[in-house]
Amino acid sequence: MKAFPSLNKQVKVVQMVDSLDLGGTERMSVNISNALPDYGFESHLLVTRRLGGLASFVQEKVNLKAFNKKSKLDLVAFWGMLRYLRKLEPDILHVHQTSIFWAILLKPFLPGIKLIWHDHFGQSEMLEAYPRKEMDWMMPYVDSVITVNDLINSYWKVRFPDRAGDIFYLPNFPEFLEVQRKSAQNVSVKIINIANIRRQKDQLTLLDALDIVRRRGYDFEAFLIGEYVEADWLELIQKRIAELGLEKAVQLAGPVTQLIPFLETADIGVLSSESEGLPVALLEYGMASLPTVSTDVGQCGQVLGHGKYGWVIPPRSPVSLADALEEIILNPKLADAKGIELKAYIRKNYGPENFMEEYREILSRLESKPRSKLEAI
């Protein structure tokens, strides 16, 4: 099963990512790397800066290498990566998000390599505010672009119309977790929010909604699970928890590598983000058959069937979120049915086989693609 039929060797794909901290970009780099060998590829995962909590999820069939880059001008790390890639001679360098900067610098020293940039930009509702002007000079050196939702895909196609045929939307896919829910044992409703602690994820709206739910007379436990990315946002969350008197009801769980225990015992999964791409956490809720509430941002509404498989609410609306949580609490049979339907929908539409089928098509296009600007230097 070769992506490049004319090659007389197994196609080597190197994923390149800054770290393996607990985030959506990092999870997808691991998920893709783990899936590639099952579809006939040789899989390598190059981590430029540091290993993190997701490193333990990289399977043995993937060749994992970290270079501990200290700064943007770390020449020792740069030459180490270059020696590694030259010796490996990969066919594809598939880089995630900000790793594109070093990939552009490495590419002239790697003749024949094809460069794919995977754009996971989470603030897809705010693309005009974050134009990423550096892509004006970097785009000619990128062979293909993969985006995580339709908004980002359309944005790049409009901005670079002559490259529209090289830009593709491929939905994220989750690790297919085997989760046996035990929510019937809960005394109070258990709510989980898997999202790193930063403004974009808007945990303050969730806290305000939880305060409304409590004042309506419902008992719950809520767990905020994620890396502490923005210290000032963490302080605001801690302050709001204290102001609302939610200390006993809300726990900051921090970064968690083993999500299954939380998914197994949860009653409701929530995303309160003000902007998103296609969050892996939402897919993980679905794989656990969790009744799910999400703001209508990025690709979230589509994943939830625009309300068919979950509850879709406007962003920055505590009352709407509280209403959705109350409806789930009052209608457990309906909620469980939607959770089961969500799992089936995700398995059918957001599995690795869907991603890999389209990925193979992208690689087939790259096989006949003329040399890029940097290759011609």
Q: What is the pLDDT of residues 207-255, one digit of tens each?
A: 999 999 999 999 999 999 999 999 999 999 999 999 999 999 999 999 9
Instruction: Please say whether the beta carbons of 192 and 225 come within 8 A.
Output: yes
Tell me how far CA of residue 285 lies from CA of 55, 62, 162, 265, 272, in angstroms. 22, 26, 38, 12, 14
Q: pLDDT tier at 8 (50, 70, 90 boundaries)?
A: very low
- Sequence-ordered alpha helix ranges (H) in 244-317: 260-265, 280-287, 300-303
At 131 the pLDDT is: 77
Q: How far apart are CA 212 and CA 177, in angstroms?
A: 33
Report percent pLDDT > 90 for the chain: 78
Average pLDDT estimate for 31-55: 94
pLDDT band at 25 (very low <50, low <70, confident <90, very high): very high
DSSP string over 319-354: HHHHHHHHHHHH-HHHHHHHHHHHHHHHHHHSSHHH
Q: Residue range 346-350: average pLDDT?
A: 92
Adjacency order of strands within the sheet including 63-66: 63-66, 42-50, 12-19, 92-96, 114-119, 144-147, 167-169
Residues 332, 103: contact at Cβ < 8 Å? no
- pLDDT of the residue at 3: 43
Domains of the chain with CATH codes: 12-173+351-367 (3.40.50.2000), 183-349 (3.40.50.2000)
Structure tokens at 57: 């999820």
Over 90: is that where the pLDDT of 370 sits?
no
Confidence at residue 130, expressed as pLDDT on a 0 to 100 scale: 76
Residues 133-147, mean pLDDT to the nearest whole number: 93
pLDDT of residue 2: 41
Per-residue pLDDT reduced to its tens digit, 58-113: 999 999 999 999 887 889 999 999 999 999 999 999 999 999 999 999 999 998 89
Pairing label, strands 114-119, 144-147: parallel
Q: What does the pLDDT read at residue 376?
A: 43
Decide if pLDDT at 183 tops 80.
no
Span 336-347, mean pLDDT? 95
More confident residue, 126 or 34: 34
- Residue 15 CA to residue 95 CA, distance in Å, equals 6
pLDDT over 50 at 49, yes or no: yes
Inform me whether the pLDDT recorded for 24 exceeds 90: no
User: Which residues are within 8 A (CB) of 108 and not within 5 positions of it... i.e. 6 or more apart?
Assistant: 374, 375, 377
Say if CB 53 and CB 132 are below 8 A apart. Answer: no
Sort 338 into a burial class: Cβ within 10 Å, 0-12 / 13-18 / 19+: buried
- Burial (0-12, 13-18, 19+ Cβ within 10 Å), 190: middle
pLDDT band at 177 (very low <50, low <70, confident <90, very high): low
Strands across the sheet containing 220-225: 250-254, 220-225, 189-194, 268-271, 292-295, 311-313
Mean pLDDT check: name the lowest of 70-74, 154-158, 254-258: 70-74
Does residue 377 carry a pLDDT above 50? Answer: no
Distances (CA, A) of 166 to 36, 69, 123, 157: 21, 30, 22, 9
Res. 189: pLDDT tops 80? yes
Count Cβ atoms below 10 Å from residue 55 Cβ, excluding itself: 18
What is the pLDDT of the chain when averaged over all its residues? Answer: 91
pLDDT attached to residue 371: 57
